[in-house]
Amino acid sequence: MLTKAGLGVLDTLRTGREATAAELATETEYSKDHLYDVLDELLEAGLLDERRGHNNQRRVRLTDHPVVEAYRVLQSELGHVEWTKLLSPATLRVCWYLDEPRRTAEIADRLGLTRQAVHKALSPLKHRAMLSPSGPEYALHADLEPLLSFSRAVVRHEHRSRVRAIAPSATVAWCDPKRALVRIQTAEDTEALEAASDWQLTGLARFAEYGLQFFLAGEPAFWYAPEEDLTPADVVCHTLILDSGSRRVSYAMLLIEELDINRETLTETAQWYGIEASVTAMYRSLEGAFDEPDDAAVVLPSEAEFAALKEQYGVL
């Protein structure tokens, strides 16, 4: 996660200037030794470029990395705020969930924190009247969309860096501050993630565990959530995120039928993935209304198609 010192470097260099570690130490008020470590991290992450200046001094400048660009937008639209003093890694993680009103207990549960820790992370935003409403549910004001975009760019970058250290071909299909769903392009990367303790197979590749074996075109997807069990509801949601085509939707419905996944459980899980409408449409068909509604979020199979699929795989 981007540290406060790292954010200080981004802020100092956001206009496109170059600077040495000594200059940055003076302007950010961090020690030069600490800045050297921070610069190394930002260089490795691709947020900085460097060249050698006079007397072989390191001079660094920002790249056009998505995190950098998101911060520039934040500064250009809301430059009157001292973001380097306001934002911490914890506050950025909490911001991820402030796109809609949420209770602190919900956010704490998703982040694995106490409610007190969430309140502490929210405190700088509360004091600047950036939250609406004021409680018990909190969300960012509509004009703070650049802050939400910046927090999400930082989190996505963190996951991308983590997985690409193991599997260079990986791309992030979905993430939140503690979890990530990734696609893989090569067999070598599949083997690498299969051997990594924090990663699990998911999506269609996981169906075999429940007695449903499908042909995979390409490499499987993987899930990062080392502190949690991977549930069937998660697998359904991952399948839909990775491919919302009619065939994959049919397979997801088949898994729901095979495991008799509780509608309330799956709908609650789908809310966090932003696909609640898709799940609602699927259950509508599973309950007998196979005529596709006008506002369907996914392409649903016909009743005859789904019946044939159930017969093919022996799902009663």
Q: Among 62, 80, 98, which residue terminates a domain? A: 62
Q: Within this chain, do residues 57 and 83 fall inside the same structural domain, yes or no?
A: no
The model carries a pTM of: 0.92
Q: What is the CATH number of the domain that holds 85?
A: 1.10.10.10
- The residues, any chain, with a CB within 8 Å of residue 196's CB and separated by 6 or more, are 166
Q: Within this chain, do residues 77 and 116 fall inside the same structural domain, yes or no?
A: yes
DSSP state of 261: -
Helix, coil or strand: residue 63: coil
Q: Within this chain, do residues 252 and 275 fall inside the same structural domain, yes or no?
A: yes
Domain presence at residue 295: yes
Q: What is the pLDDT of residues 223-280, one digit of tens each?
A: 999 989 999 999 999 999 998 888 889 999 999 999 999 999 999 999 999 999 999 9
Look at residue 168 and tell me whether its pLDDT is greater than 90. Answer: yes
- 186: its two tokens: 């090569």
- Closest of 272, 285, 188, 288 to residue 238, by C-alpha: 272
Domain presence at residue 131: yes
Domain presence at residue 183: yes
Domain presence at residue 157: no
Q: Within this chain, do residues 208 and 136 fall inside the same structural domain, yes or no?
A: no
Asked which of 98-112, 127-141, 145-159 is least confident by mean pLDDT, the reply is 127-141
Amino acid identity of 89? Answer: P
Look at residue 184 and tell me whether its pLDDT is greater than 90. Answer: yes
- 47: its two tokens: 């947020």
Q: Within this chain, do residues 183 and 291 fall inside the same structural domain, yes or no?
A: yes
Q: How far is CA 127 from CA 7, 115, 123, in A?
A: 20, 18, 6
Amino acid identity of 145? Answer: E
Beta bridge partners of 181: 174, 223
Domain range for residue 45? 4-62
CA 21/CA 16 separation, integer angstroms: 16
Q: Within this chain, do residues 300 and 238 fall inside the same structural domain, yes or no?
A: yes
- In this prediction, what percent of the chain has a pLDDT beyond 70? 97
- E strand or H helix that includes residue 39: helix 32-45
Domain presence at residue 136: yes
- Closest of 40, 23, 30 to residue 8, by C-alpha: 30
Q: Within this chain, do residues 211 and 289 fall inside the same structural domain, yes or no?
A: yes
Q: Within this chain, do residues 177 and 305 fall inside the same structural domain, yes or no?
A: yes
Domain presence at residue 160: no
Look at residue 295 and tell me whether its pLDDT is greater than 60. Answer: no
Look at residue 186 and tell me whether its pLDDT is greater than 90. Answer: yes
Look at residue 37 and tell me whether its pLDDT is greater than 70. Answer: yes
Q: Within this chain, do residues 225 and 304 fall inside the same structural domain, yes or no?
A: yes
Q: Within this chain, do residues 177 and 276 fall inside the same structural domain, yes or no?
A: yes
**DSSP H helical ranges for 46-186:** 66-77, 83-86, 89-95, 104-111, 115-127, 145-164
Q: Within this chain, do residues 217 and 175 fall inside the same structural domain, yes or no?
A: yes
Domain presence at residue 277: yes
Q: Among 62, 86, 110, which residue terminates a domain? A: 62
Q: Please identify which residue in the block is written with the tokens 């269609």.
A: 204
Domain presence at residue 79: yes
Total number of domains constituting the chain: 3
Numbers of helices and strands, H then E, in the chain: 15, 8
Look at residue 291 and tell me whether its pLDDT is greater than 70. Answer: no
Q: Among 151, 178, 205, which residue terminates a domain? A: 151
Sign of CA dihedral 287, 292, 298, 299: positive
Q: Please identify which residue in the block is written with the tokens 């939400």.
A: 148
- The residues, any chain, with a CB within 8 Å of residue 272's CB and separated by 6 or more, are 110, 176
Q: Are 184 and 217 in contact (CB under 8 A)?
A: no
- 228: its two tokens: 């949690």
Q: Within this chain, do residues 70 and 51 fall inside the same structural domain, yes or no?
A: no
